[in-house]
Chain A
Amino acid sequence: MNEHDKILIVKYITRQANQEETAMAKYLINSSKAHEAFYAAYYETWQKSLYYNIESIDANKAYSNFLASAAQEETKKPQPSVILRRLAIAAFVLLVCAFGIYFYDIRTNLNLSPQGLAESEVNVPKGSTRKIVLPDGTKVSINAGSTLKFDKGFGNSSRTVYLDGEAYFDIADHDVPFIVKTSHHVIRDIGTIFNVKAYADDLEFETAVIEGEVSIEGRLSLNSDNKETVSVKRQQVLKLNYAPVIISGQSKKDVTDLIEAKVQKVNSSQLEAYTGWTEDLLVFEGKTFHEITKIMERRYDVEIVMNDVKLKNYSYTGSFKNVDKVEKALKILQETTDINYEKNGKVITIW
């Protein structure tokens, strides 16, 4: 077996192979006994090499985690049913018809001039999401009510995109760094998959890293106005919350009103709360009705009116899978909580 094949198979074993290389490695393993034997031996060695630092798999820590979550289960049980108690059951995974999201290639759809002089812009209206492939091969899912722009000449000397809204990035391997600019922050990728939520009209900013690492630059701490940089690693989420500034009746985000900043570690199932939308799965984990209605407004292109302050602050846990109509979503909410609603065209009133 030649050196090239060996390195290719090792890349596959160590999870460093891209799609094409993975397909090639699998093909080799399946078509030659020698390659299969090499693969199995090296895969097993890769696995056994964990013994070098076996302490990193920490049984004591895992046991404390188990005790903590078991204790939480216990205290949850006797509680009288709050409005949303029944929602523990609301892992309502409704498998309704999947609504179509199509991968389409931006190169063929945006009519870039030959030199790529035009700045490209993808607008995703409320009520829909879209998946695109950027010219460098990076895959992006864009959530409802978002705009993604990128520079002329994207992919050659720079790979910078501008985001207002929410998008999930699976970055293609490339020498040029990939940069996402939002209204107040700059996110630099270091070989990653990550989700950015930065709607200009939201009072929050979130970046969740699924694979690899990103660095985020902007105002990040409460007691300093200076720009700072923080790195967010695999299975971590950076969250920033802002206080509302009322300008002519509309709340608006301002950098100076940062009231909370934190980096959290999350496990892979919790990550669904950040990335589920790319597969039409909305996960609400202790989100307030106020936050949920915001998400629903974008997802279903409706306006939700809620005047009861107490209701706005109710927290809800549940998930909607492939719920394609706002009526269905409202029905689930109604069945599992004590809310009432009325729909009038695009306007929904909840009380």
Chain B
Amino acid sequence: MTDGNFSRKVNNVDIKAFEDVFKCHYVKLTLYANKFLNDVDIAEEIVSESLAQLWEKRESINFSSSVTAYLYTMVRHKSMNYLKHRKVENEYVNYLMRNNLINELPEHDTDPLLEKEIACQIKLAVDSLPERCRQVFIMSRFEYLKNREIAQRLNISQNTVERQITIALDKLRKSLECILSAALLLIL
């Protein structure tokens, strides 16, 4: 489905077309919002809110550019507003600003193949971490446990937890570097 097609359908109050857009963009938009927020729960809330607004405004919005770009812009604005409102400063946002990267769309959105490859590479890399390291990393990333709690549960020191997470990220980064530079080579 192309974006132009969608805008017409949405203007016709076609809930099915909206459902497609919702489900097709939800995860990617959440990852995008998370870049600014570094908090998946809040990212999901902001994306849901943005999509609900798209639905509310379905009749009044003139989709001059594509729906995708519109959604990304909305999610970015909302994320920034959230940070501002909460007086939270994320250094990564400052980094993007300093380097004029704030308006860049994530590479996995312009290249679905690359996205698949990133996902695949991450799975591979996490699964091949040494067992203790993998365990610590998963507890930190997906179970939202604090370093102190992980240390308590596994009966290791907090320093060890910190070191293991750093090692895990280091390995993941190296394995991603391979495919990202390979992708770059293809373009060249």
Pick the contact of A49 from B22, B35, B122 — CB < 8 Å?
Answer: B122
Q: Which of A45, A56, A191 has the most CB of B within 10 A?
A: A45
Docked-complex contact B44 and A57, CB < 8 angstroms:
yes
CB distance from A279 to the nearest CB of B (A): 11
Contacts of A42 in B (CB 8 A): 169-170, 173
State how many angstroms separate the Cβ of A193 from the closest Cβ of chain B. Answer: 12
- Contact partner of A62 among B34, B48, B95, B140, CB < 8 A? B48
Answer whether residue A137 sits at the interface, using C-beta atoms and an 8 A cutoff. no
Interface residues of A in 144-197 (CB under 8 A from B): 173, 190-191
Those of A11-49 within 8 Å (CB) of chain B:
11-16, 25-26, 29-30, 36, 39-43, 45-49
The reply to whether the CB of B119 lies closer than 8 angstroms to some CB of chain A is yes
- In the assembled complex, A97 has its CB within 8 A of some CB on chain B: no
**Closest chain A residue, CB of each to CB of B99:** A40
**A11–B147 alpha-carbon span in the complex (Å):** 9
Provide the bound-state CA to CA distance between A167 and B166, in Å. Answer: 36
Binds B, one of A64-72, A77-85, A303-311, A341-349: A64-72
Cβ–Cβ contact A10 & B148, under 8 A: no
A267–B23 Cα distance when bound, in Å, is 21
| CB of A318, distance to nearest CB on chain B (Å) | 20
In the bound complex, CA of A50 to CA of B108 (Å): 13
Cross-chain contact of A12 among B26, B91, B163 (Cβ < 8 A)? B91
- The answer to whether A48 and B122 touch (CB under 8 A), given A60-B23, A70-B52, is yes
Q: Is the CB of B44 within 8 A of A62?
A: yes
Listed residue (A60, A62, A269) with the most chain B CB atoms within 10 angstroms of its CB: A62
Interface string of B141-159 (1 = CB under 8 A from A): 1101011110000000000
Of A45, A62, A63, A190, the residue contacting B169 (CB under 8 A) is A45
Bound-state Cα–Cα, A95 to B181, Å: 52
CA distance A30 to B97 in the complex (A): 13
Q: Is the CB–CB distance between A45 and B35 below 8 Å?
A: no
Q: How many residues of A contact B (CB 8 A)?
A: 49
Per-position binary interface string of chain B over residues 22-34, scored 1 when its CB falls under 8 Å from any chain A CB and 0 otherwise: 1100110011001
Contacts of A62 in B (CB 8 A): 22, 26, 44, 47-48
Which residues from chain A contact B137 at a C-beta distance below 8 Å?
49
Contact check, A63 vs B19: say whether CB atoms are below 8 A apart. Answer: yes
- Which of the listed residues B39, B47, B173 has the most CB atoms from chain A within 10 Å of its own CB? B173
Contact B166 A7 (CB under 8 A): yes
When chains A and B are docked, how far (Å) is the Cα of A70 from the Cα of B13? 14
CA distance A56 to B141 in the complex (A): 12
The residues in A between 210 and 234 inclusive whose CB is less than 8 angstroms from any CB of B are: 212-213, 234
A246 interfacial contact with B, CB 8 Å: no
User: When A66-B52, A234-B144 are in contact, do A52 and B44 touch as well, CB less than 8 Å?
Assistant: no
- Establish whether residues B91 and A26, one from each chain, have CB atoms under 8 Å apart when the complex forms: yes
CB distance from B106 to the nearest CB of A (A): 9
- In the complex, are the beta carbons of B126 and A49 less than 8 A apart? yes
CB distance from A55 to the nearest CB of B (A): 9
Chain B residues 112 to 151 lying within 8 A of chain A, measured CB to CB, are 118-119, 122-123, 126, 137-138, 140-142, 144, 146-149
Q: Across the interface, which residues of B come within 8 angstroms of A15, CB to CB? A: 38-39
Instruction: Give chain B nearest CB distance to A210 CB in angstroms.
Output: 12
When chains A and B are docked, how far (Å) is the Cα of A11 from the Cα of B158? 11
Contacting residues, chain B, for A268 (C-beta < 8 A): 41-42, 45
Specify the chain B residue showing the minimal Cβ separation from A192.
B146
CB within 8 Å for A59 and B45 given contacts A45-B173, A50-B34, A212-B146? no
Query: In the complex the two chains form, is B176's CB within 8 Å of A48's CB?
Result: yes
Q: How far is the CA of A54 from the CA of B115 in the complex (A)?
A: 12
With CB as the reference atom, state the residue of chain A lying closest to B147. A16
CB <8 Å contact, A52 and B169: no
Task: With A50-B40, A190-B149 given, name 11 new contacts (CB 8 A).
Answer: A14-B165, A29-B91, A40-B92, A47-B35, A48-B176, A52-B126, A56-B40, A63-B26, A66-B52, A235-B41, A268-B41
Which 8 pairs, one residue from A and one from B, show the smallest C-beta to C-beta distance? A59-B26, A51-B119, A45-B173, A51-B122, A191-B146, A10-B166, A59-B23, A52-B126
Binding site for A on B (CB under 8 A): 19, 22-23, 26-27, 30-31, 34-35, 38-42, 44-45, 47-48, 51-52, 55, 89, 91-92, 94-95, 118-119, 122-123, 126, 137-138, 140-142, 144, 146-149, 162-163, 165-166, 169-170, 172-173, 176
List, sorted by A's number, 12 A–B pairs whose CB atoms are closer than 8 Å. A7-B162, A10-B166, A11-B162, A30-B91, A48-B118, A49-B169, A51-B118, A53-B141, A54-B119, A62-B48, A70-B55, A234-B144
